Amino acid sequence: MASWNLRGLLPSSQKLSVSSCPNNDLARTNKVFVNPTDFPAVSGLGHINSKFVYVIGASSEVQHGHLAFNRSQRKELRLGLGDVVSVSPFKWPGKKPVVAVAATFEVGLLSRTGQQIEIEAEELIEQCQRRFTAHVPSLGQSFIVDFFGSSLILKATSLVADSAVEIATVTKNTEIFFTKAPDSPVKVRGGDNRPKDVFRADFNFEKMGIGGLDKEFSDIFRRAFASRVFPVSVIQKLGIQHVKGMLLYGPPGTGKTLIARQIGKMLNGKEPKVVNGPEILNKFVGQSEENVRALFQDAEADYKENGDSSELHIIIFDEIDAICKQRGSSGTSSGVGDTVVNQLLSKIDGVNALNNILVIGMTNRKDMIDEALLRPGRLEVHVEISLPDEHGRQQILQIHTAKMRESRMLAHDVNLDWLAVQTKNYSGAEIEGLCKSAAAFALNRHVDYRDLQKQVDASGMVVTMEDFRRALVEVQPAFGMGRDDFARCLLGGFLVHGERMQKSLDAGKLFRNEVASSDRSPLLSVLIEGPPGTGKTALAALLAVESGFPFVRLVTPESYVGYSEVAKCQALAKVFDDAHKSSLSVIVLDNIERMIEYSPIGPRFSNILLQTLMVLTKQVPPKGRRLLILATTSCMNVIERLDYKQAFSAVLSTPTLSGDEIGAILDGNTESINISQEADGSFSSLHSSHLSATRFRSRRDRDFAITMLEAKDLGVKKLLMILHMARTEDADGEQVIEIERLTAVLRDVV
């Protein structure tokens, strides 16, 4: 026997028999009915089973001693016809009735039909506010609503007053939301109009292991997630669709895959599906396309069931360029790559496109992806995940040394600010490798390689600043400076032998400073021309090393020995592409006539390489990036005839030595700029010195030597070699140059 409490219905507890509503019109009122002769002046609310509240009505069609329910009410109360229930007055637990600020109802059909019904939420809200004004819904309680001929059943799933409650009064000020009942053919447009709680409240970038990408995350949120925070009705009024796809691109190791994987951890939604591009491909016909369709099956089922109220489904494609190359570019006869692209396009933005998906693609080669996939409506948000700046590098270092600090295994002398400055052009992965290398050096101090069976004593082990310094030498950035190449070019220092060389050096510094500081000159290219051995390569190398730019690269013809023309062009394009990924870059193109395979016999040269160099030399870097190009040539007349000179912003000359310049070198009145290499391998300091004077037997021999040397049109490189070869020791053991020996050397060398 059920015990009921009815407010305003009964003066005291009584027993009544359960019966059905006399007719459908009374059943749709959602009231329970009694006979007026049993209880005169019946009105009020009834609280049943201490769970549900019903409005009480009177009808002469109800038998004496009975309480009439509709079918839905009997089902939710688990009552059968003829059951006896006990009823008594009901009182609110508090002094005042609880008024619902918001209520959510699950919408279904009273009688199952195979036909899909689509209704507008605003119209259903008007019906509910008019019919529910006198009712007090409880969680799990159902109501029948006649919606323009369709009998809907609405089940209360959420009630909110000051907080979530189980019972509350619905008024005209109550916000009403709707969700789709499971397996229901009813679809309510704009039903779940609540603001979406897309992000988890406790997510933190640093705890997720992501640093240096604040701006990138801001762009991702603004373009891909901001619209999903707002109610569906607001987006519908704007007439826009949610972003369905984004592309993360950039150099390897910058955190693209990490971002995509961690996005799922900061969202309140389905677990993201992560798939590598090559995993989609299958040797069987049609299986690759089937693999793509399988990725979207859950999202399709959810959208069919819940419409715009369905959860967000994230699909992550790592190395998406493996399956989405330009259509028609594949040399295979199967055409699998093209059909996979077509299948992916149809799923993201086809006729039956979904609005509850977010496809995230990641690649190092954006240029390889089919253009149709990159347009709006598909992977329309393109976010470059570039190399971190100094602040970003500091954040990454903080993340990867956090465990060391917590366990007190990081020495107090470790300066992360200094490391952030020294790790220019390091990617996030390379900074992680730097921390691993430093830890390896610390571990190495506690291992005795002569006795590997000896117990390792880890007490007192800490990672010191010296470990990080050694790690800087071991872990080199892929987009950094080729230190060995430049050290070779500047072997012995750079000799400023006269006013002409000083002017060329000052002009080069002026161009370099212009690139570094001016927003109006993101690209400057300087051609350094002169006869062989006049210091062209050394001048270019000195300007590059002194710049302090994070990306400095030397490109020489010997780097591409054995390459085909196409391979050379691709290698050159990659150098410039890498330079464009850094904020400040210097590229030194040494001996460009050899690079284009010029030969005076014919004459012959590679037009493909020439055109490639001309295009790359004039290619302006992306916004926010700056590039200085220093090229050297010993065949200026060839460069002019090939019309390559016009690609450069300026031309500097390093002519052969004059008599005065030779005299200055012999007398030691020149400045020699030597490069000092630090323990971490970087060129961080420069100092100037002077060459020692060259001794002759007499002043007359010196003047005669200058006359002979000037007549040979020598460069500084060959002059220094000749002077070194002509030296002999006198009776006192000092180095001296004899005119006879100098003449012999000139005859043999020049």
- Out of 195-199, 311-315, 461-465, 719-723, least confident range: 195-199
Classified as helix, coil or strand, 395 is helix
For residues 180 and 216, state if they share a domain.
no
Is the pLDDT reported for residue 207 higher than 70?
A: no
pLDDT value for 336: 63
DSSP per-residue letters across 571-619: HHHHHHHHHTTSSEEEEEE--HHHHTT-BTTTTB--HHHHHHHHHHHHP
**Residue 374 vs residues 7, 229, 243, 356, 577: alpha-carbon distances, Å:** 64, 24, 12, 19, 20
Biggest CA-to-CA distance, the chain: 146
Specify the 3-state DSSP secondary structure of 147. Answer: strand
96 inside domain? no
557-607: pLDDT as tens digits? 988 888 999 999 999 998 998 888 888 889 999 999 999 999 888 788 999
% residues pLDDT > 90 (the chain): 14
Asked whether the predicted pLDDT for residue 2 surpasses 50, the reply is no
More confident residue, 63 or 12: 63
Give yes or no for residue 189 having a pLDDT over 90.
no
Residue 630's pLDDT is what? 94
Most confident segment among 182-186, 256-260, 321-325, 531-535: 531-535
Query: How many residues are present in the chain?
Result: 750
Q: 230 or 174, which is more confident?
A: 174
Is the pLDDT at 304 greater than 80, yes or no? no
Residue 66: phi and psi, rounded to 5, are -120, 155
Question: The CATH number of the domain where 563 resides is what?
Answer: 3.40.50.300
Q: How far is CA 646 from the centre of its chain?
A: 38
CATH of the domain at 74: 2.40.40.20
The least confident of 292-301, 366-375, 446-455, 610-619 is 446-455
Query: Is the pLDDT at 60 greater than 60, yes or no?
Result: yes
- Max mean pLDDT among 103-107, 324-328, 687-691 falls in 103-107
Query: Of the candidates 268, 209, 119, which has an alpha carbon nearest to the alpha carbon of residue 399?
Result: 209
Q: Is the pTM of this model over 0.85?
A: no
Q: Which of 412, 440, 474 is the last residue of a domain?
A: 474
Query: Are the CB atoms for 5 and 87 separated by under 8 Å?
Result: yes
Is 373 among the domain residues? yes
| 197 in any annotated domain | no
Mean pLDDT of 496-512: 90
Rg of the chain (C-alpha set)? 41
- Is 196 within the bounds of a domain? no
pLDDT at 174: 81
Query: Which range (22-36, 84-98, 300-314, 636-650) has the least confidence?
Result: 84-98
499 and 627 co-located in one domain: yes
Domain count, the chain: 6
Q: Identify whether the C-beta of residue 458 lies closer than 8 Å to the C-beta of residue 512.
A: no
| The pLDDT of residue 616 | 94
513 shares its domain with 639: yes
- pLDDT surpasses 80 at 318: yes
Q: Are residues 175 and 244 in the same domain?
A: no
Phi, psi of 32 (to 5 degrees): -110, 145
List, in order, residues 6 or more apart from 166 with CB less than 8 Å away.
Answer: 138, 139, 159
Here the tokens at position 664 are: 């200055």
In a shared domain, residues 252 and 305: yes
The model's confidence at residue 3, banded by pLDDT at 50, 70 and 90, is very low
In the structure, what pLDDT confidence band is assigned to residue 684 with cuts at 50, 70 and 90?
A: very low
- 731 and 633, same structural domain? no
- Mean pLDDT to the nearest integer, 243-265: 80
Least confident of 282-286, 399-403, 624-628, 650-654: 282-286
Res 53: pLDDT: 77
How much is the pLDDT for 8?
38
Same domain for 699 and 632, yes or no, is no
The 3-state DSSP composition of the chain as helix, strand, coil percent (nearest 5) reads 40, 25, 40
Shared-domain flag, residues 123 and 142? yes
pLDDT at 475: 87
Amino acid 619: pLDDT: 92
Check whether residue 323 and residue 432 sit in a common domain.
Answer: no
Summarize the confidence of residues 604-614 as an average pLDDT.
Answer: 93
DSSP letters for 268-301 = SSSPPEEEEHHHH--SSTTHHHHHHHHHTHHHHH
**Which among 631, 656, 681 is the end of a domain?**
656
Q: Which of 128, 161, 189 is the last residue of a domain?
A: 189
Determine, yes or no, domain membership for 453: no
Higher pLDDT among residues 457 and 661, named by residue: 661
**pLDDT, average across residues 370-383:** 85
CATH number at residue 441: 1.10.8.60
Q: Is residue 501 part of a domain?
A: yes
Q: What is the mean pLDDT of residues 51-73?
A: 83
DSSP 225: I
Res 202: pLDDT: 56
Which range (33-42, 139-148, 173-182, 665-674) has the least confidence? 33-42
Minimum mean pLDDT range among 174-188, 439-453, 481-495 = 481-495
pLDDT value of position 51 = 64
623 shares its domain with 500? yes
715 shares a domain with 577:
no
In a domain, 592, yes or no: yes
Percent of residues, the chain, with pLDDT higher than 70: 84
The answer as to whether 692 is a domain residue is yes
> How far is the C-alpha of 55 from the C-alpha of 19, rounded, in Å?
16
Note the pLDDT of residue 4.
Answer: 44
User: Quick one: 497 and 424 in the same domain?
Assistant: no
Query: Mutual orientation of helices 716-726 and 739-749 as an angle, nearest 10°?
Result: 130
Higher-confidence position of 138 and 88:
138
Report the chain's mean pLDDT, rounded to a whole number.
80
Burial of residue 706, with CB atoms counted within 10 A of its CB: 0-12 exposed, 13-18 middle, 19 or more buried: buried
Across residues 695-715, what is the average pLDDT? 86
Which range marks the domain in which residue 274 is found?
Answer: 205-329+336-384
Tokens of 608: 């493909």
What are the tokens at 153? 């059943």
